[in-house]
Amino acid sequence: MRSQRLDPLLKVKQQRQDDVARRVAEQDRVLAEQQARLEALRRYADEYATPASAMTSPALLANRLAFRERLDAAIAQQSRVVDDNRHKGDVERTRLLLASRETHVLEKLSNSYRAEEARVDEKRSQNELDDLGARRLRNAAQADETEPAQ
């Protein structure tokens, strides 16, 4: 039967869809983690930007400015990491959508084949019942003809 021949392929497609869904979930987890890091850096930078006690030493001021530059660079780097992870997540979601469509198409095809096979089986059964009824009718008619009249 054609529908049974599709079952292994459908199983492979469903497994592929499940694998892609797991990758999407993992990518979403990584993105959330990276975004949390970025937000932590931004909060720290905001806290560091507020003026602390009056700094009188030029060396302390220079150190503070250098640290602030490194912090801004870290924020920029983390922003790129977040953007990269967001892009990877979008790619994985697109793959999931495509895998889902492929699986859906195969499921519809398989269901269509199963419905057609059921119609053919039902028609075959009905023909067999019709033949059996016709045979019984012929046998009854022949039995009536061969019985002697009383």
Q: What is the pLDDT of residues 40-69, one digit of tens each?
A: 999 999 887 776 655 668 888 888 888 989
What is the per-residue pLDDT across 81-126, written as a single tens digit (0 to 9) for each?
Answer: 999 999 999 999 999 999 999 999 999 999 999 999 999 999 999 9
Which CATH number fits the domain 2-145, given the four candidates 1.10.287, 1.10.1760, 2.30.30, 1.10.10? Answer: 1.10.287
pTM score, whole prediction: 0.68
- Extract long-range pairs of 30-33: CB within 8 Å, 24+ residues apart: 30/85, 31/82, 31/85, 31/86, 31/88, 31/89
Which carries the bigger pLDDT value, residue 131 or residue 144?
Answer: 131
What three-state secondary structure class fits 74?
helix
Q: Are 45 and 69 in contact (CB under 8 A)?
A: no
Q: Are 107 and 10 in contact (CB under 8 A)?
A: yes
**Structure tokens, 45:** 């930078």
pLDDT at 149: 57
